[in-house]
Structure 1
Amino acid sequence: MSGPGAWLARRDPGFLVVRRAARVTLVACTGFLVSRYALDNAVMAPYALFGAVALGILSQIPGSPAQRARVLLTVLPVGWLLVTLGTLLSVSTATATAGMFVLGFVVSFVGVGGPRLVGLAAGTQLLYILPCFPPYDPGSLGWRLAGLTLAVLLLAAAELVLWPDPTPEPYTAKLGVAVGAVAGCLTAVADGWTGRPQDRDRLTALLPDATETAEALRPSNSPPMERPASAGRRDRALTVAAGTARLLLGRAVDLHDTDAHRATGLPAAASLLRRAASCAGAAAAWLRTEGRDGAPVPDTDDMTAAIDAFRADRAAMPPDGVPADRLRLNSLALSLGEWTRALVAAVRVVAAAPVGPDPTPPAARPGVLWFARESTPRLWWQRLREHLTPRSVYFQGALRLAVALAVARLLAGVLDLSHGFWVLLTILTLLRTQASETRSLLWPALVGTVIGSIGAAGLLLIDIPPVAYALLLPFVMLIGFSAGPLLGLGWAQALFTLVIALVFAQVSPVDWHLAEARVLDVAVGAAVGLATGLLAWPRGGSGELHRAAGTYLAATGRVVRQTVDVLTRGARADGALPQARDAGELASASWALYQTEHHPAPSVDWQATLLAGHHAVRGAEWLLRECPTGRLLPCVQPLAAEADAVATRYERVADALLRRDHVVLAARSPAPPRGDWPTDLGADLYHLADLHVWLDGLRDDLGRIPAASSADADGADVRRRVARLADGATS
């Protein structure tokens, strides 16, 4: 293939953009022409056309064709409500503006429920914007709703039969591949402990592929609309399972690098790893097809039995007098077993299978799978409550957009702009989370609009019959809907201006002044959008990410101190863990937004920064659940000093993030203060080893926060890449 076809194939692999543009064009033109000419209804026609544009072009709906069709039918009642409110509130500029602010905020803010709702936000905003302008005509509401209904029904049918997009690979399938790779790595580690050189080298051979499959699970490597980020149980469980799989891979590398020759209880640890590999393999088999091939839902009983057997073997071997380094492997293996059980339990939640009561003690609650026992409404309320704060990027984005749309609606009413809804449509098109991105789009949008308006004015000056407009409309619309993704915003604005001229020329008498009004409205909308972007959180995700990550690490520093205090002195927990979880939720949301923006190479490895918090929280949960409290009092002083050193480093890094002090961030952590290791605590020495493994891991995590050099990034240091598998590690 050569020429334009080859260029299009390069710019649009699979012709997804062209196929989508063709579907929406056919639906919009069919609904418009049927309403305008077959039914002779000039009120119904614009709603049939713009309803298809709102939900077909401005909205992004993920999933298979059948799933997208179901979403369209599900959102139809919401569209009826928005059109009804817009019609009734258009009675005055004041009511229309107030409605625009409230609905603009609500429709955007519900995006905290997941990427599917984010994808629908812009399109559903237009369903209120279109009817909220004069004329105030409640009597036409029925025809407006009929036009929207026709558009949605045609669009849903088109998703199924007109050049349907290929069904994307399910996230569960990618997760199954990654978990299967982790299972292979665990088996390789256990076999390597047999002493055969070929077995020990097998992990090195498996690790690159396992790392690639684990990296594919990160939200940053998935299309935004396909990330499991909703407030429901299934997506939360998928997020936990993916994060746990990445942690298991890192722990497999830790075990491989630990000297196993002098470790105590090596046969029991090898047996635990093989059982963990078997359970992970069963989870992977179910995930690959979600049980459609007959694979049973994995059960946690096998892993629980393996952990109990390992604990029994460990308890039967008193560790008194054993050097500290010989106990490390046992602690690593036990944490791996616990994480494998959590992974299997998360897969059961994905499969809607029961998971049993929460074994988490009160000091560590809620546990990692707390959501498995909550109702869907409560999960939604919890997600909304977490982000109902000015420190949430979702709250900031919703408020920024609501203010911009309300101001634009007020100006359109006060200035009596004809076709004032174009002002608000421009804001939906241009406004970005970063003021710099909004500013970069300003000139292409204005230049494209002016060029399109000149063409529209020339077209309207020619005395041609309306049927010519009807014949031109689908061709211009198809090119216009394809131009935006393929050629840029300027082309999209120019061609969409022609589309608008062709549409309104068939609905009501117009002249070349329509093009003049289009330029004015776009200029007003661009000015309002730019001013709002400059005044309301202009840095977007970058500015909030520093603050959110700093707050998260400061909270995890308190978790470190509190956990050691509970385990050594038996102190009462004071809520540090729930506070850290809430801070982690906001930090993860800021990181997700940051990845959608354009930034220069950062000096902070944000994935490693989040990992430092995630490991602290997950490790504290596990220690508080599995280790008896108050039993390490004989070594309280050295443990408190070690915990204080780690927590202080967390707090210093947190403060440096808040102040953007990259010198402090790049500083090396001091050598850990390690007191005398008691040798006469009996079985509690194992718990002491568990605690030390956790603290050592946190210190390593903090050392990875400075961004890797280009040599590290481009090199083949797979273990470093494993250590940096971070974002989205918890839910």
Structure 2
Amino acid sequence: MRSLVGWVRRKDPQLVAVRRAARIMIVACLGFYVCRYGLNKPSMAPYALFGAVALGALSQIPGSPRQRARTLLAVLPVGWVLVTLGTVLSVTTWAATAGMFLLGFAVSFVGVGGPKLVGLAAGMQLLYILPCFPPYDPGSLLWRLGGLTMAVLLLAGAEVVLWPDPAPVPYRKRLGDAIGGLGACLHALADSWGGDPTGRDRLAALLPEATDAADALRPSRLPAAQRPASAGRRDRALSSAAGTARLMLGRAVDLYFTEVHEAATLPAATRLLRETAGCVESAAAWLHGTGPVPDTGHIVAALNEFRIARMNTDPNGLPPERLRLGSMALALGEWTKSLIFVIRVAAGLLPDHPDPTPPTAQPGQFWYAYRKVPNLWWHRLRENLTPRSVYFQGALRLAVALAAARLLAGVFDLSHGFWVLLTILTVLRTSAAETRSALKPALIGTVAGSIVAAGLLVVGVDPTVYAIILPFVMFIGFAAGPLLGFGWAQALFTLVITLVFAQVTPVDWRLAEARVLDVLVGAGAAVLIGVFAWPRGGGGELHRAVGNFIGGASRVIRETVSVMADGERPGTALPETRAAGMLADASYALYQSERHEASTIDWQATLVAGHHAVRGAEVLIRSCPAGGLLPSVGPLTATAWDVARRFERAAEGLLAHDRGFVERPTPERPAPVDWPDDLGSELYVIADLRAWLDGLRDDVTRIAGRPERVDGLRDRVSQLADGAT
């Protein structure tokens, strides 16, 4: 016994799976027994049991126990609607099939709104599937709704009082830790610039811890349900804050390797960096709940002071390298201003002025801060209503599979056809390869469970025995998936279903035979749809989405320099690339949920390169009037075109699914160009542009990086950002 407990502890250290299985078992059995034997309502009992299974076992609801309980209560009216529609549309096979397609798509597609909806999708699908089969019995609707209501109320209470799960670490705290570590690094860097001989060593000591804290924000390190990915304003702001913090940490590492002794405007840059560090730490304090909401006024004043100091320092005759540090410090300050702004948005303090983004460049970087919540949800749905969206693809392939399975079950009059659709929900994955990998354990488990179930039914055990053993089999079955694997879960769940129906209606050994047949039909439908509908899943769409994003970034680079040096009017490159980045982020999020062999492409570094291009361009275009750099158009164009071509080369390789492009030699840097040194204050803007372009050139070379083989501090930090912002 002790060895068994030790094995379970190793598999499930916090006993999350065991706690969850116990809660679902108690709620499902209690509801089932009360309805079946207490109230003597066989039509009510399955809904009390499967309601608990749908929202307890098939659903993944994020948050603390109290938050999960509130979510369950909030979705109860939606469950009523689905059960009602399933009951009404079961009048004919065609009506039920049409409803299955429309509701299957809608329930799955609304998951685009965030992790709570994604986690609920499979469970909500089951609430329509269960009543959409004969018998057509609208008279039992109230009893069905009563059973579902009992299940939800009991489950919500159990989440809070029955062995509640440990509350996960809030994303806000993780973000606070990362931003706090960044602030400490910036303070050490400022001390080093100010002459403190220990500052550089302190920075070197702080960076690994700050790196780990920022690494904890990577979506790949977080359960899908805990990622700030909803359509709401708060999650958008928190995600943007995380992306900004990762970019700032990368810039802090760059400054660690930058020579400062001969830098122009070093005292002014040091003051700006100290103010930047203070503002970053105030943001971390609010996230930790130990300080007020930070104000953008401090960093805005510091940026203005730095710009005035630069204007009062004549750069004529200075080598460009002496201007680089000030440009990098200015970029840090601008990113800090963005960080404080989104932290205020996350705190619910909306801007008291209209969106300053010019109409031709909208949507701007923080467009969501100026929109009402219903508009944000509609925007999220609308931007994903395209075949290029992985959310649209996933919802459509599932809807087609469920509708086809419902049609087959009706045409061939399968006695327990809802098992066909239940198999679709459990087997169909986002790619054909993943579907095939789930198919074998599903079939083996179902056959094994059916053999045991048939044996019980053939022997003719007294129904009381079914009622006694049901809780034990259910508990082991729901715990088996996380502890033993998918095949064991399928076997035991098959036995659970047999025990349930044996208590509701007269059955014989053919019930087990029907279970195997229905699973085979459902598995066949899942495989066919998986093969013909976007079989590559997130990996296939990721190449296209990220390729379009990186290709758009190359146009952003060219357009930015054309505006600043040639005086051209801003075009559509920025807003179009920002929209492409949203689809790329969504594709990467799905890709992370799938199993893949080690890739030759560092997708994280690829995405951060695109986001760096967009964010840098937004700041630079605001800092200089169009055509203000005309005297240096030649060197700027040559440098920008070289960087843009590197981005285009990466985009072409991604769109062609040519992973070998990362193995080919990186183009050499272009020949040195003669930079003017007599343009006065415009030299500072040129330095800002050069710092941005040099950073982008380094970013694009990291696409072929190997995150699992990172050597050196600069390379390690460069792998942090996912770009899922």
- Partner of residue 683, structure 2: 685
SS at 1:327's partner residue?
A: helix
Shift of the alpha carbon at 1:4? Answer: 0.3
Shift of the alpha carbon at 1:665? Answer: 2.5
- Partner of residue 669, structure 1: 667
- What amino acid sits opposite 1:136 in the alignment? Y
User: What is the TM-score when the length of structure 1 is the normalising length?
Assistant: 0.97
Shift of the alpha carbon at 1:664? Answer: 2.8
- Partner of residue 721, structure 2: 726
Q: Structure 1 residues 308, 359: CA separation in 2 closer, same or farther (over 3 Å shift)?
A: farther
Matches within 5 A, 1:288-687: 288-289=288-289, 293=290, 295-357=291-353, 358-362=355-359, 364-666=361-663, 667-687=665-685
Shift of the alpha carbon at 1:212? Answer: 0.4
CA contact (8 A) 2:586 2:724 kept: no
Distance 2:440 2:592 in 1: 24
Distance 1:313 1:634 in 2: 23
CA contact (8 A) 2:585 2:724 kept: no
SS at 1:308's partner residue?
A: helix
SS at 2:217's partner residue?
A: coil
- Partner of residue 14, structure 2: 14
- Partner of residue 693, structure 2: 695
CA contact (8 A) 1:244 1:729 kept: no
Q: Structure 1 residues 315, 356: CA separation in 2 closer, same or farther (over 3 Å shift)?
A: farther
Distance 1:268 1:361 in 2: 31
- Partner of residue 76, structure 2: 76
CA contact (8 A) 1:219 1:728 kept: no
Distance 1:615 1:566 in 2: 18
- Partner of residue 210, structure 2: 210
Structure 1, 364-373 or 337-346: larger mean CA deviation = 364-373
- What amino acid sits opposite 2:268 in the alignment? A
Matches within 5 A, 1:37-186: 37-186=37-186
CA displacement, residues 240-286 of structure 1 (integer Å, 9 cap, x when unaligned): 11111111111111222211111111011000011111111111011
- What amino acid sits opposite 1:675 in the alignment? V
Shift of the alpha carbon at 1:481? Answer: 0.6
Shift of the alpha carbon at 1:651? Answer: 1.1
* 2:243 is equivalent to residue 243 of structure 1: yes
SS at 2:198's partner residue?
A: helix
- What amino acid sits opposite 1:100 in the alignment? M
Shift of the alpha carbon at 1:350? Answer: 1.1
Distance 1:618 1:647 in 2: 16
- What amino acid sits opposite 1:678 in the alignment? P
Distance 1:175 1:658 in 2: 34
Shift of the alpha carbon at 1:362? Answer: 4.7
- What amino acid sits opposite 1:677 in the alignment? W
Shift of the alpha carbon at 1:364? Answer: 4.5
CA contact (8 A) 2:569 2:626 kept: no
Distance 1:37 1:140 in 2: 17
Shift of the alpha carbon at 1:359? Answer: 4.1
SS at 1:442's partner residue?
A: helix
CA contact (8 A) 1:364 1:625 kept: no
Shift of the alpha carbon at 1:188? Answer: 0.8
- What amino acid sits opposite 2:308 in the alignment? A
- Partner of residue 3, structure 2: 3
SS at 1:63's partner residue?
A: coil
Task: State percent identity of aligned pairs.
Answer: 65
Distance 1:364 1:625 in 2: 12
Shift of the alpha carbon at 1:709? Answer: 7.8
Q: Structure 1 residues 119, 497: CA separation in 2 closer, same or farther (over 3 Å shift)?
A: same
SS at 1:509's partner residue?
A: coil
* 2:277 is equivalent to residue 281 of structure 1: no
Q: Structure 1 residues 2, 509: CA separation in 2 closer, same or farther (over 3 Å shift)?
A: closer
Shift of the alpha carbon at 1:390? Answer: 0.8
CA contact (8 A) 2:350 2:370 kept: no
CA displacement, residues 515-541 of structure 1 (integer Å, 9 cap, x when unaligned): 110110011111111111111111111
Shift of the alpha carbon at 1:454? Answer: 1.2
SS at 1:131's partner residue?
A: coil
Q: Which runs of 5+ in 2 are unaligned?
A: none
Distance 1:418 1:48 in 2: 21
Distance 1:440 1:169 in 2: 32
Distance 1:107 1:487 in 2: 30
Shift of the alpha carbon at 1:594? Answer: 1.0
Distance 1:361 1:82 in 2: 44
- What amino acid sits opposite 2:201 in the alignment? D
SS at 1:495's partner residue?
A: helix
Shift of the alpha carbon at 1:464? Answer: 3.3
SS at 1:132's partner residue?
A: coil
**Aligned residue-pair number:** 723
Shift of the alpha carbon at 1:444? Answer: 1.4
Shift of the alpha carbon at 1:459? Answer: 1.1
Shift of the alpha carbon at 1:363? Answer: 5.5
CA displacement, residues 502-523 of structure 1 (integer Å, 9 cap, x when unaligned): 1111111111111110110011
- What amino acid sits opposite 1:255 in the alignment? L
Q: Structure 1 residues 673, 231: CA separation in 2 closer, same or farther (over 3 Å shift)?
A: farther
- Partner of residue 703, structure 2: 705
Distance 1:673 1:502 in 2: 77
SS at 1:317's partner residue?
A: coil
CA contact (8 A) 1:90 1:134 kept: yes
CA contact (8 A) 2:427 2:435 kept: yes
Distance 1:222 1:430 in 2: 24
Q: Which runs of 5+ in 1 are unaligned?
A: none
CA displacement, residues 63-86 of structure 1 (integer Å, 9 cap, x when unaligned): 001100000001001101111111
